[in-house]
């Protein structure tokens, strides 16, 4: 096995419930896993399911060939590590980023093989201000700022359960790979899910 994708809801306690939010007739999590399964370079999709969510996650995934491991992200990784080749790539993906384009996933996999730990990013579009005691005291240079997305790609030997690793190389991300957590983002997700699919969209 050369590439494994581990899906996680490790950001916030509420992410487990958000992952089951219906989008175009299916749970957000179902879209996430089905998309990753559609990337031929990925050999296995593994879901790290908090104990309280394991049954509902398994039900949401139905017959999809995804391995569900109840417990922590570390436990999920330990369950698959013995099956991995030394030069394997481990992808760590946020369950709430359901619509990342397949090409972005491929870009991460390819970059890991040459650059080590890799994360997709987008340029910061908004002006960022520095405040103290509710007053603006400065402006950050946004040309140097990026928003991080997933999957984070790791060479097997460098894997650690972090969704925002310092020192990682970067590849271009994609606007469709947003975290779906608000009503506005849910509306966008519905539109993405309903749009005609091509081979580059998960």
What are the backbone angles phi and psi of residue 135, rounded to the nearest 5°? -115, 140
Query: Domain segments of the chain: what residues?
Result: 3-119+146-194
Structural element, H or E, at residue 90: strand 89-94
Predicted TM-score of the model (pTM): 0.88
Please state, in angstroms and rounded to a whole number, the distance separating the CA atoms of residues 129 and 24: 37
Q: Are 201 and 102 in contact (CB under 8 A)?
A: yes
Which listed CATH number (1.10.10.10, 3.90.550.10, 3.30.1050.10, 3.40.50.2300) goes with 3-119+146-194? 3.90.550.10
How do the pLDDT tens digits run along the chain, 202 residues long?
A: 699 999 998 766 678 788 999 999 899 999 999 999 999 999 999 999 988 888 999 999 988 999 999 988 999 999 999 999 899 999 999 999 999 999 999 999 999 999 999 999 998 877 788 898 888 887 877 777 888 999 999 999 999 887 778 888 999 999 999 999 999 999 999 999 988 766 444 5
Please state, in angstroms and rounded to a whole number, the distance separating the CA atoms of residues 96 and 94: 5
């Amino acid at each position: 096995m050369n590439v494994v994708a581990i899906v996680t809801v490790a950001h916030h306690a509420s992410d487990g419930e958000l992952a089951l939010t219906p989008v175009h007739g299916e749970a957000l999590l179902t879209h996430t896993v089905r998309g990753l399964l559609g990337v031929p370079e990925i050999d296995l999709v593994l879901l790290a399911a908090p104990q309280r969510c394991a049954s509902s996650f398994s039900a949401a995934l139905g017959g999809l060939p995804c391995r569900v491991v109840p417990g922590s992200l570390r436990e999920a990784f330990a369950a698959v590590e013995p099956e991995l080749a030394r030069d394997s790539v481990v992808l760590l993906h946020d369950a709430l980023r359901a619509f990342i384009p397949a090409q972005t996933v491929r870009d991460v996999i390819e970059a890991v093989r040459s650059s080590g730990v890799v994360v997709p990013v987008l340029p910061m579009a908004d002006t960022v201000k520095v405040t103290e005691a509710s007053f603006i005291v400065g402006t950050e240079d946004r040309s140097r700022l990026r928003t991080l997305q997933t999957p984070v790609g790791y060479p097997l030997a460098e894997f650690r359960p972090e969704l925002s690793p310092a020192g990682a190389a970067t590849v271009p991300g994609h606007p469709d790979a947003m975290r779906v957590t608000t009503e506005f983002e849910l509306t966008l997700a519905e539109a993405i899910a309903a749009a005609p699919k091509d081979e580059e969209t998960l």
